[in-house]
Chains A and B, each alone.
Chain A
Amino acid sequence: MHPAAREMLLSAVDSGWADPVRLHHEGRTARLLLDNARAVLADAIGVRPDELYLTTSGTTAIQAGLSAIRAARRRIGPAVVHTAVEHSAVLHSAGDEGVEVGVDIRGRVDQEAFARAVQQPGVAVAAVQSANHEVGTRQPITAIAEECGDVPLFVDASASVGHDAVPEGWSVLAASAHKWGGPAGVGLLAVRKGTRIAPAWPMDEREDGLSPGFPDVPHALAAAAALQARLSEAEELNKQHRAWIDEVRRRVQADVPDVEVVGDPDDRLPHILTFSCLYVDGEALVTALDAEGFAVSSGSACTSSTLKPSHVLAAMGVLTHGNVRVSLSRETRYEDVDRFCQVLPGIVQRIRAEVGM
């Protein structure tokens, strides 16, 4: 968690504990604090405070947003047109009504196919992520928005908010506080004025029915403090991350034979790099890197609970085994980046030697 978020959370636990819809003094204080958090978050996203709803996670923001748009447009049709590399929360929300559009080897959506799919009859909503959470590739949101016509465009910006500029042209946008150094348990759902929504579940008086239940004011404040602090550091930090990721990309390709670095090399998030090592078991690689003090993710099947490879890597048609995702945080130092590049070739060589490669 960002230190600014931690500090805010500790003080807000004392000052913002009450229910903001109550009329007593503590309730009014909580209401003021919640309004303040909402104003900060809305400003960062580029919407008005009354266009921004707080949910209990990025996933609930995605589920609430998509189902509320679909319910409002049920007379038009049920289909959710989405890219093949969306977060699983989008895929689960779309369910049987999902119309999947493929991506190229860098993970970028086929824009022509997407436009054709959106222009079919019966489409409730189009869903495209701002950038991919596993490989960092950005999607051309503004260009896609122009093709959507009357169909609302839902953008899952969870991977990019706090790390990259918020794109233009969407009707509804979702984000997740823990991705920018805020606490877990806070999601954002921005709904542009004029977008028809109809919450499809039992509603209460909170968040216009989009997120029922007693709101967590201290965590909302911590999320706002983290985003504000993250954005004030963004220019310098993003430049640094971009340079370091470029270096990791270059050194991994130079020093590890038979490695495939995936995702767009330029039009991408600044802080993520993903690569796959031929003939290497992903679980063994993650474990060996963990022993060296590096916490990395993997899209390899052996590292997932379902034993299926990452649907993102599969949709791109890139190697899914021996996969590693490196994410830089604000705490990452150049020494960490350098040491990662130094230890990786030996680890890969050792794991390959164990299987005679």
Chain B
Amino acid sequence: MSVELDCRGLLCPLPVIKLAKALPSVAVGETVTVLADDPAAAVDIPAWCRMRSQELVESAEKRYVVRRVS
């Protein structure tokens, strides 16, 4: 099961908070997709993945796909 979060119109840190809350709801190996148009998300979602050791699978066109690694 994969989850998609529509965070368009929300400012950081909200998209990152929603991502952090949603990730435990998917199984390890599954993904959460975040739609976010705040320019800060382009930096903060990859930074969150690095800090949390989760995998950023895709990051393009205001759409971020994160795979739960642990």
Contact = CB atoms under 8 A, between A and B. Distances in A.
A281 B16 CA distance: 11
Contacts of A309: 12, 39-40, 43-44
A321 B20 CA distance: 14
Given A320-B40, A321-B40, A307 B17 contact: no
Nearest to B50: A317
Contacts of B50: 317
Contacts of B16: 278-279, 321
Interface string A279-290: 111000000000
Interface in A219-262: 258, 260
Interface string A284-323: 0000000000000000111000011100011001111110
Contacts, number: 64
Nearest to A315: B43
Interface residues of A, number: 23
B13 A278 contact: yes
B12 A320 contact: yes
Interface string B13-53: 11011001100000000000000001110111011101100
Contact of B44 (A258, A320, A355, A357): A320
A313 B17 contact: no
Interface residues of B, number: 19
B43 A278 contact: no
B57 interface: no
13 contacts: A279-B16, A281-B13, A300-B12, A301-B38, A301-B40, A307-B11, A307-B39, A309-B43, A309-B44, A314-B43, A317-B50, A320-B47, A321-B44
Given A278-B51, A318-B47, A322-B13, 11 more contacts: A278-B16, A300-B12, A301-B12, A301-B40, A307-B39, A308-B40, A309-B44, A321-B12, A321-B13, A355-B17, A356-B17
Interface of A: 258, 260, 278-281, 300-302, 307-309, 313-314, 317-322, 355-357
